[in-house]
């Protein structure tokens, strides 16, 4: 899976977020491309970001950078780590949920 933006390693970390737990990339609803973060999309894409609507929470739109498992939006929003490999996801990402996914 190709991850767009300024990645700094093969586990989807980027120049903006590079901690041990920054191991996800999110498929943006507007373009269907995976980016490590909203800032990577802002810098790389030629269009504004659009959030996934609540009605599409069943879409595969989050990828674990450690094992490449794709998660649905609903599943991602309910876990704190990858259900396949156990890699922890950065809990601080919850602060940016509204940038990627519409809230109910």
pLDDT digits (tens, 9 = 90+) for 17-33: 999 999 999 999 999 99
Residue-range definition of the domain harbouring residue 29 = 24-100
Position 7 pLDDT exceeds 80 = yes
Q: What is the number of structural domains in the chain?
A: 1
Residue 9: inside a domain: no
- Distance (Å) of CA 52 to CA 5, 8, 14, 16, 63: 19, 26, 22, 22, 15
Task: Please give the average per-residue pLDDT across 31-56, as a whole number.
Answer: 97
Task: Please give the average per-residue pLDDT across 28-45, as a whole number.
Answer: 97
Residue 93: inside a domain: yes
Q: Could you tell me whether strands 34-35 and 24-27 are parallel, antiparallel, or unpaired per DSSP bridges?
A: antiparallel
Residue 67: inside a domain: yes
Whether this model's pTM surpasses 0.75: yes
Position 104 pLDDT exceeds 80 = no
Residue 58: inside a domain: yes
Residue 3: inside a domain: no
Residue 71: inside a domain: yes
């Amino acid at each position: 899976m190709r991850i767009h933006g300024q990645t700094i390693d093969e586990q989807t970390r980027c120049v903006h977020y590079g901690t041990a737990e920054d191991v996800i990339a999110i498929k943006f609803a507007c373009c269907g491309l995976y980016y490590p973060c909203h800032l990577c999309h802002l810098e790389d894409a030629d269009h504004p970001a659009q959030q996934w609507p609540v009605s599409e929470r069943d879409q595969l739109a989050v990828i674990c950078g450690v094992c490449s498992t794709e998660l649905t939006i609903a599943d991602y929003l309910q876990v704190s780590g990858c259900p396949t490999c156990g890699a922890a996801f950065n809990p601080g990402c919850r602060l940016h949920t509204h940038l990627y996914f519409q809230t109910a």
